[in-house]
Amino acid sequence: MDSNLRIGFIGAGNMAYGIAKGVLQSGDVPPTNVKVSAPSARNFGRFQELGVAVTHSNAELVSSCDLVFVAVKPHLVTSILSEITDHVTPKHIIVSVAAGVTLATLQGLLPFDTVVLRLMPNLPCLVQQGALLFSRGTRARQEDGDLLRSLLQHCGLVEEGPEAWIDIHTGLSGSGVAFVYLFAEALAEGAVKMGMPSALAHSIAAQTVLGAGQLLRDSGKHPAQLRSEVCTPGGTTIFGLHAMEQGGVRAATMTAVETATERARELGRKSAPTATENRK
């Protein structure tokens, strides 16, 4: 990787911060080559603690950076891209993190030969345990994807796929984080019903979810395989699993991912511009 690669973030929220932390951890990009822009200085503090430069000018940031993450709320994307489009060259790489904003929309708001990628991270990027899926726009080549993947490797799991998978990733992994929270809460509440104090039950539930998730991720085995490995005949586990199946946890959880995915698709359709709008 070019050690002079300059990375910019438009937007100074949680996602920008989590990604910035991961980018810096790779050691390939010094903090002085990273810049963030936002209208107010309110969120600059933690970026500055990383040694990252700050600015209030999006145009200045784009002009002084090679790869720019657009990490603003979805409804701000149109105005932000309109603001910077005159400063975008064919050498730039623009990576949008805005949920529900399609590559077609992004490319329509920028010069027609701009290299654009679309990235869907998730909240655990904040602790470098994210799940991130990206998709390449029309002008983004294999090496642009490889560069992005390399930059993001310390943010968590990084995968590439067709744009159609981004909505699924939103449902599974973006909203999935909240589904896990609900599940962990239910585990704890079951223990509270049985007589364990609430704070302890929640603490143990959280640790159990973390530990099981790590075993699952690192084993490379199918969860059904792992599940059968831990079911002592006639033991406590198979009794509990039966209750989960009887309660239809599997189906309801599948429905949750399906519903969230369909909502993501719906929101994506709503935000798409008409074909002749905004094209430069």
The amino acid at 114: T
Q: What are phi and psi of 206, to 5 degrees?
A: -60, -45
54 vs 272, which CB is nearer to a second copy? Answer: 272
Cα–Cα dist 185/178, whole Å: 11
Q: In 76-107, which positions are buried (b, 16+ CB within 10 angstroms) versus exposed (e)?
A: ebbebbeebbebbeeebbbbbbbbbbbbbbbb
Is 278 annotated to bind a ligand? Reply is no
Is 12 annotated to bind a ligand? Reply is yes
Cα–Cα dist 278/280, whole Å: 6
Is 38 annotated to bind a ligand? Reply is no
Report CA-CA distances (Å) from 44 to 33, 92, 122, 146, 248.
16, 24, 21, 29, 46
Site size for a second copy, by CB under 8 A? 100
Work out whether 1 is an interface residue with a second copy (CB under 8 A): no
- The number of C-alpha atoms within 13 Å of 134 and in the hemisphere containing its C-beta is 28
Task: Give yes or no for a contact between 81 and 70, defined as CB atoms under 8 angstroms apart.
Answer: yes
23 vs 67, which CB is nearer to a second copy? Answer: 23
6 vs 263, which CB is nearer to a second copy? Answer: 263
Output the six-digit token pair for 27: 């050691």
Work out whether 34 is an interface residue with a second copy (CB under 8 A): no
Interacting positions 116-155 with a second copy (CB under 8 A): 122-124, 126-127, 129-131, 133
Question: Pairing mode, if any, of strands 156-160 and 130-136?
Answer: parallel
Is 73 annotated to bind a ligand? Reply is yes
70 vs 93, which CB is nearer to a second copy? Answer: 70
Among 243, 269, 277, 279, binds a second copy (CB under 8 A): 243
Work out whether 246 is an interface residue with a second copy (CB under 8 A): yes
**What is the maximum span of the chain, computed from C-alpha positions, in angstroms?**
69
Interface segment toward a second copy; rule CB under 8 A; list 20-28, 89-97, 106-114, 254-262: 254-262
Work out whether 241 is an interface residue with a second copy (CB under 8 A): yes
41 vs 182, which CB is nearer to a second copy? Answer: 182
Task: Answer positive or negative: Cα dihedral of 131, 135, 141, 142.
Answer: positive
Is 201 annotated to bind a ligand? Reply is no
Interacting positions 148-187 with a second copy (CB under 8 A): 156-157, 159, 161, 164-165, 167-187
54 vs 157, which CB is nearer to a second copy? Answer: 157
Interacting positions 41-100 with a second copy (CB under 8 A): 99
Is 71 annotated to bind a ligand? Reply is yes
Is 10 annotated to bind a ligand? Reply is yes
Binding-site annotation, residues = 10-15, 58, 71-74
Binding-site annotation, residues for NADPH = 58
